[in-house]
Amino acid sequence: MRFINGSSEPHKAVDIANPIGAPVVAFRGGEVKKVRQGTGEANSVTIKYNKEKGQEQLFGIYAHVESGLQPGDKVKEGQVIGRTDVSGRSTGPHLHYSQRGNDGEKKDPTQLLKNADSFPANGGGKGASPTPSGGSGTGSGGIGSDRLAAPAE
């Protein structure tokens, strides 16, 4: 659960604390399907991930991300897709990452993030344990920004 603006709601996503302007990378390759920027809601990028035979179609939604991408753009795993911002309902700068299936149903984002230690755009590191319950993604057991942000340019 998460508590914001006096209400509680299920939080089926992973929040990863990052400083404003930190690069955000695609967790998988695919095609940009939707980009929302400057609407008053959280800036976001939705990527339809490439899938292999027998896999379920997944879409990755990267929120609180300022991006210059356009629908139809192709992205590669590990490619910088934008930078962390504080758009929409937010208590601070972070990446809010969620996944949906082809039917629009929310999926567990931690399944994709289980291999965060070996993610190609990250410095590696040990001991990551995603926190889908709404934690900040930092501190003991969480995924820190050093794991899922691209190296500094």
Residue 89: inside a domain, yes or no?
yes
Residue 17: inside a domain, yes or no?
yes
Domain count, the chain: 1
User: Residues 65-101: pLDDT tens digits?
Assistant: 999 999 999 999 999 999 999 998 888 898 999 999 9
Residue 148: inside a domain, yes or no?
no
Q: List the one residue out of 68, 80, 69, 66 whose CA is nearest residue 153.
A: 80
Residue 92: give the domain boundaries.
Answer: 2-109+117-138
**Segment holding 137, helix H or strand E:** none
CATH of the domain at 33: 2.70.70.10
Q: Is the pTM of this model over 0.85?
A: no
Residue 91: inside a domain, yes or no?
yes
Residue 44: inside a domain, yes or no?
yes
pLDDT at 115: 53
Residue 151: inside a domain, yes or no?
no
Average pLDDT over residues 41-63: 91
